[in-house]
Structure 1
Amino acid sequence: MSKAFEDAHERHASAHEGPRWVPIVAAALAVLAAFSGYLANVRATAAIIAKNDAIVATTHASDTYAEYQAGRLKYYVAQSALDAGVNAGGDAAKLRANATRENAKGPPLLEKAHRFEEDATRMNERSERLLAQHETIEIATTLFEVSIVLVSITALVGSRLLPVSAAIASFAGVAIFLYGLTR
């Protein structure tokens, strides 16, 4: 047999004698990576929904402000006609009724528009928080995936530095993951 063949055969035989903990650790890291990836996606989806809700609330606020402004315009037109002494075909009472009705509708509409604005602000803040959590958890997921690769390579090359590097990346991933959940 040639020397190269013998070396290859020896490497192949010793690969089967690698550390038995490697598959278990790689599987555990894969579960952590999958779980953190899932939670990151849940956060991203929730951020999109919150942003959509903020857009809807902003639209409602805009529509309500437009309704308020239209009512105020009707009030001022009716009030101006009354102040000018215009007798719109003898319907001064109708003008007064319109002015009174439009004046009464104003404050509740303005309050409603403010509530929609507050809802939009709250939803935007929620969306930003969820997006920040998503980004942080994605970093943790990446660290878990790097750890899987480092542990897997350990089985092939038998290095002692790779498991230590994988452990450091894994602990950093867990810390960042927990931080991302509470952010």
Structure 2
Amino acid sequence: MLRFIPIAAAILAVLAGLASLYGGRLAERQLELGSSAVLAQTRASDTWAEYQAQSLKAHINAAALAVAANASTRAKLAADMQSYRQRQPPLMQEATKLENERTQLLDSMDKVVTKKLDVDVGVALFQISIVLASVAAMTKRPPLFIAGLVGGAIGLIYCVVGLLR
């Protein structure tokens, strides 16, 4: 049984390397999604600020309209107020769309984080298994080798679950 230790350790090392590489890619994806979510939130906040500015302008014009004595001034203020109010619905739609986009990006990021956690546990188990197999080879204790194989199998399960999520 001990003669299979080098082969098993090599297989575990390859699996650890591949899983680590995939975990790195997941980390990159997580950062990308997080950055995109922050950008979408910033754009939504800017759009909401513009919406509020249009509302404030309309209210100011309404107040000015209430005290304006000149008919031409009243007509201009009323037209401006109408213009400000007409600009608001598209801004509200755009801000809501951007907030929904942000929420979808954050949901996707959460899924990537969950996958990465599984893969990271798998990598750790592969590394522990390699150590157990190495110690088993040096001390000639088969139970350590078996423990390493079991740890490697569990690590493989974690990685597969992470891939399939």
Within-5 A mapping of 1:32-181: 32-82=15-65, 84-87=66-69, 90-181=72-163
Q: Distance in 2 between matches of 1:140 and 1:161?
A: 21
CA RMSD of aligned residues (A): 1.8
Q: Distance in 1 between matches of 2:49 and 2:70?
A: 27
Q: Distance in 1 between matches of 2:77 and 2:3?
A: 91
Structure (1/2) with the larger helix percentage: 2
Equivalences, count:
165
Q: Distance in 2 between matches of 1:20 and 1:156?
A: 12
Residue 88 of structure 1 deviates from its aligned partner by 6.0
User: What is the identity, as a one-letter code, of the residue corresponding to 2:118?
Assistant: T
Residue 91 of structure 1 deviates from its aligned partner by 2.5
Question: 1:116-146, CA deviations, whole angstroms, 9 ceiling, x for partnerless residues?
Answer: 1111111112222212221221110011111
Describe the shift of the 1:168–1:19 C-alpha distance in structure 2 as closer, same or farther (beyond 3 A). closer
Describe the shift of the 1:35–1:88 C-alpha distance in structure 2 as closer, same or farther (beyond 3 A). farther
Describe the shift of the 1:160–1:20 C-alpha distance in structure 2 as closer, same or farther (beyond 3 A). closer
Q: Percent identity?
A: 31
Q: TM-score, normalised by structure 1?
A: 0.83
5+ residue gaps in structure 2?
none
Moved more, 28-37 or 149-158: 149-158
Describe the shift of the 1:35–1:95 C-alpha distance in structure 2 as closer, same or farther (beyond 3 A). same
Q: Which runs of 4+ in 1 moved over 6 A?
A: none
Q: TM-score, normalised by structure 2?
A: 0.91
Q: Distance in 2 between matches of 1:48 and 1:97?
A: 47
Within-5 A mapping of 1:13-32: 19-32=2-15
User: What is the identity, as a one-letter code, of the residue corresponding to 2:101?
Assistant: D
Residue 169 of structure 1 deviates from its aligned partner by 0.4
Residue 32 of structure 1 deviates from its aligned partner by 0.2
5+ residue gaps in structure 1?
1-17
Report if aligned partners of 2:5, 2:134 keep a CA contact under 8 Å in 1: yes
Q: Distance in 2 between matches of 1:122 and 1:72?
A: 29
Report if aligned partners of 2:2, 2:142 keep a CA contact under 8 Å in 1: no
